[in-house]
């Protein structure tokens, strides 16, 4: 805080606030651009029809809408912080100007007081000189040159003292006024701080939900999935149906096995197809149930039960778990050499395929 002659100071670093406002605004623009980008990508799904496609569009649109709202909230917050930065800067500038006036007025008063003190000393000295020059007559010799000089000095001292008193009174008035104005500036910054904090607070409320769906490994991913069937309905709908990331890893394992030349995974792949068919059947069987739930989500029991999940998800879980067990077991047989269809038994068959966690 600079020296402001004891006036109240509106706290804040206008430069830091302006910089923060810029960063908040730029993040808002990036978030909105990300929402548009995501929406653009999702529009390329021509040929994908059916209820899962509808659910997909719904999920992407929900994300896009959330990002648009959130980005707009950040833009508002950036604007509010920028306004606050300008108010802080302006208020601090005004208080500096007020302090300058106070300093100038008090310097003038101090100067006038010094002049008055000097004039009084001169007058006292002149009086003493007059008395010394006419020791017998004293004040009875008012017209002596020394007495006249003393009278002039006394008059000058009185005038200087009067001017000093006026300067001090003016300085006091200026300080009183400046103190009130500086207090007003501090209040103005406080009010702007409240306003900006309110807008920033709204942007906090618009931050994307941090309750992202939790995903686990194989098997049993859907059981680790805690998101209730509401505005995150897609995550329940599709993640539950297809086993989510766990199932993705399952498919990845198959792809990796293929890429390692494990062509003899035909048996496993046939089982995989069969299992996928079962899962697909389960998905189709449950579309009629789960889509209305997605469109008109049921409320979980109150108080919220962490174990609550739609019944159809249990069916999918069961098909999924069966598939994982069946295919995983067959793959283990293959990679352990227990399955006679493994094509390259013996030392030359290459590295053991890695199927990742769960296998």
- Residues in 186-205 at the binding interface with another protein, rule: CB under 8 A: 189-190, 192-194, 196-197, 200-201, 203-204
Query: Looking at beta carbons only, is 252 or 338 nearer to another protein?
Result: 252
Please report whether residue 211 would count as binding another protein according to CB under 8 A. Answer: yes
Please report whether residue 259 would count as binding another protein according to CB under 8 A. Answer: no
Q: How far is the CB of 150 from another protein (least distance, A)?
A: 60
Site for another protein in 263-302 (CB under 8 A): 272-273, 276-277, 279-280, 284-285, 287-288
Q: How far is the CB of 341 from another protein (least distance, A)?
A: 18
Please report whether residue 319 would count as binding another protein according to CB under 8 A. Answer: no
Contacts within 8 Å (CB) and 24+ apart, 253-257: 253/331, 253/353, 253/354, 253/355, 253/356, 253/359, 256/353, 256/354, 256/355, 256/356, 257/331, 257/353, 257/355
Handedness of CA 184, 186, 191, 192 (dihedral sign): positive
Q: How far is the CB of 153 from another protein (least distance, A)?
A: 55
Q: How far is the CB of 108 from another protein (least distance, A)?
A: 34
- Compute CA distances 334 → 52, 260, 270, 328, 339, whole Å: 34, 13, 13, 10, 5
* Count of residues near another protein by CB under 8 A: 80
Query: Looking at beta carbons only, is 285 or 315 nearer to another protein?
Result: 285
- Compute CA distances 215 → 42, 207, 218, 246, whole Å: 23, 21, 10, 7
Per-residue string for binding with another protein, 33-72, x by CB under 8 A? -x--xx--xx-xxxxxxxxxx--x--xx--x--xx--x--
CA–CA separation, 254 vs 250, rounded Å? 7
Please report whether residue 226 would count as binding another protein according to CB under 8 A. Answer: no
Site for another protein in 320-359 (CB under 8 A): none
Q: b vs e for 28-47, b when ≥16 Cβ sit within 10 Å of the residue's Cβ?
A: beebbebbeeebeeeeeeee
Query: Looking at beta carbons only, is 149 or 265 nearer to another protein?
Result: 265
Burial class (CB in 10 A: 0-12, 13-18, 19+), 283: buried
Please report whether residue 158 would count as binding another protein according to CB under 8 A. Answer: no
Provide the CA 165 distance to its chain's centre, in angstroms.
56
Please report whether residue 258 would count as binding another protein according to CB under 8 A. Answer: no
CB 334 within 8 A of CB 359: no
- Cβ count within 10 A of residue 91: 24
CA–CA separation, 303 vs 228, rounded Å? 13
Q: How far is the CB of 125 from another protein (least distance, A)?
A: 55
Query: Looking at beta carbons only, is 281 or 354 nearer to another protein?
Result: 281
Query: Looking at beta carbons only, is 48 or 308 nearer to another protein?
Result: 48
Structure tokens at 12: 């804040």
Site for another protein in 80-99 (CB under 8 A): 81, 84, 88
Site for another protein in 2-21 (CB under 8 A): 11-13, 16-17, 20
Q: How far is the CB of 196 from another protein (least distance, A)?
A: 4
Q: How far is the CB of 344 from another protein (least distance, A)?
A: 24
Whether residue 134 has a cis bond before it, omega within 30° of 0: no
Q: How far is the CB of 206 from another protein (least distance, A)?
A: 9
Residue whose tokens read 């990002």: 67
Q: How far is the CB of 103 from another protein (least distance, A)?
A: 24
């Amino acid at each position: 805080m600079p020296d402001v002659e004891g006036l109240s100071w509106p706290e804040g670093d206008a430069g830091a606030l302006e910089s923060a406002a810029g960063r908040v605004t730029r993040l808002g623009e990036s978030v909105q651009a990300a929402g548009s980008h995501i929406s653009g990508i999702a529009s390329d799904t021509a040929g994908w029809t059916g209820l899962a496609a509808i659910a997909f569009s719904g999920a992407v649109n929900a994300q896009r809408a959330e990002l648009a709202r959130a980005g707009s909230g950040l833009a508002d917050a950036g604007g509010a912080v920028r306004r606050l930065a300008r108010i802080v800067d302006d208020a601090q500038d005004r208080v500096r100007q007020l302090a300058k006036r106070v300093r100038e007025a008090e310097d003038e008063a101090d100067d006038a007081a010094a002049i008055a003190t000097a004039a009084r000393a001169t007058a006292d000295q002149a009086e003493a000189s007059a008395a010394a020059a006419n020791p017998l007559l004293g004040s009875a010799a008012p017209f002596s040159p020394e007495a006249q000089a003393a009278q002039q000095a006394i008059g000058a001292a009185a005038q200087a003292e009067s001017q000093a008193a006026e300067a001090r009174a003016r300085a006091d008035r200026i300080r009183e006024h400046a103190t009130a104005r500086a207090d007003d500036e501090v209040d103005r910054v406080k009010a702007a701080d409240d306003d900006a904090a309110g807008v920033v607070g709204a942007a906090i409320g618009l931050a994307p939900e941090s309750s992202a769906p939790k995903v686990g490994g194989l098997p049993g991913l859907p059981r680790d999935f805690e998101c209730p069937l509401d505005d995150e309905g897609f995550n329940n709908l599709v993640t539950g149906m297809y086993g989510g990331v766990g199932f993705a890893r399952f498919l990845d394992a198959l792809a990796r096995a293929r890429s390692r030349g494990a062509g003899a995974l035909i048996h496993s792949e046939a089982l995989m197809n069969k299992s996928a068919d079962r899962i697909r059947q389960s998905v189709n069987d449950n579309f009629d149930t789960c889509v209305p739930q997605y469109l008109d989500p049921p409320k979980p029991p109150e108080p919220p039960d962490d174990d609550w999940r739609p019944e159809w998800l249990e069916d999918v879980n069961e098909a999924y778990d069966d598939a994982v067990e069946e295919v995983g077991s067959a793959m283990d047989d293959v990679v352990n050499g227990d399955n006679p269809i493994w094509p390259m038994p013996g030392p030359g068959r290459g590295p053991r395929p890695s199927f990742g966690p769960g296998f």
